[in-house]
Structure 1
Amino acid sequence: MSDDLTAIETWAGALLAQLQPGQRRVVTRKIAQDLRRSQAQRIAAQQAPDGTPYEKRKQRKNLRGKKGRLKRQKAAMFKKIRTQKNLKIEQDENQLSVGFLGRVARIARVHQEGLTDKVSRKGPEYRYPARPLLGFSATDQTLICDSLLRHLSAF
């Protein structure tokens, strides 16, 4: 995987070096937006970068609250974490990054690496299974190349 990224970096670096700094900033912004959209769609599909599905949530033991009511467990994980508010873009004319900041970054790191964390502020600790939120897939690499070529063909 790192060899593929190095090859893309070398190829794209030569093309980007020919552009003015303002044009590079526009290109990296567009690529970063495309990457963020791709990552958000993959998180919504509940898949790791390699295409494997996330491990299912642990079932709650007590699903009944008040008499006659059944608490329903939400099916989709990471609904709010994949929004533009939380999945941030940082870029300039030479580099770009897509990731999480602040408290959301801590939560994302726990799930990305499968660490132990408290379920709630005063609750018990739980070892979360590794659910990689961010990462490069083969489609992301082709997305970068296509986005760069699309922008360069407009000139």
Structure 2
Amino acid sequence: MHQVEQAIAALINRSSPASRRKMNSALARKLRQRQQISIQKQQAPDGTPYAPRKNKKPGKRVMFRRLRTVRFMKTRSTPDDMTISFAQSTQNIARVHHYGLREKIETKGRKLEIKYARRQLIGITPHDVEIIGTEIIDFLSK
């Protein structure tokens, strides 16, 4: 298997930087769509449901409705890598929920420190790795 990986890496490196960037861009968009779907379903990438909101009626409001949009969930690709991240304005919200951190907020003149439940927003699953492999093979076969 190691020899196959080396052969594929050599084929990828022989392609032009522009075509590698195009491949990475397509992969990033596909993976972002998968992440958006899991956020829409209120599930971590591994399929486990998010912890419910505290003191809220279940099913009333969907969490991260705007955070999963293309406006806030950004992709960046170069010939050598690709990145899926949140826009600068929403990175703190995403980080606090993704890792289950504490955040200081001010509401109605009161300062509170809230501990948020861990809700993994972005992640790579074994199925995503299969998709990446399939896309690379499709790219190389063209």
Distance 1:146 1:115, change over 3 A: same
Q: TM-score, normalised by structure 1?
A: 0.78
Deviation (angstroms), 1:33: 0.6
Distance of 2:9 and 2:91 partners within structure 1: 29
Question: Which residue number in structure 1 is paired with residue 99 of structure 2?
Answer: 113
- Where structure 2 has 5 or more consecutive residues not aligned to the other structure, the ranges are none
Question: Which residue number in structure 2 is paired with residue 126 of structure 1?
Answer: 114
- Where structure 1 has 5 or more consecutive residues not aligned to the other structure, the ranges are 1-8, 64-71
**Structure 1 residue ranges (4+ consecutive) displaced by more than 6 angstroms after TM superposition:** none
User: Which deviations, in whole Å up to 9, do the C-alpha atoms of 1:100-149 show, x marking residues without a partner?
Assistant: 13120110000011001135565522100000101111121111112222
Question: Which residue number in structure 1 is paired with residue 29 of structure 2?
Answer: 33
* RMSD after superposition: 2.3
Aligned length: 136
- The one-letter amino acid of 2:33's match is R
Q: TM-score, normalised by structure 2?
A: 0.84
Q: Secondary structure at the match of 1:107?
A: helix
Question: Which residue number in structure 2 is paired with residue 148 of structure 1?
Answer: 136
Question: Does 1:95 find its partner at 2:78?
Answer: no
Distance of 2:93 and 2:52 partners within structure 1: 17
Per chain length, whose mean CA-contact separation is higher, i.e. which structure has more relative contact order (CA < 8 Å, sep 6+)? Answer: 1
Aligned pair partner of 1:48 in 44, 50, 60: 44
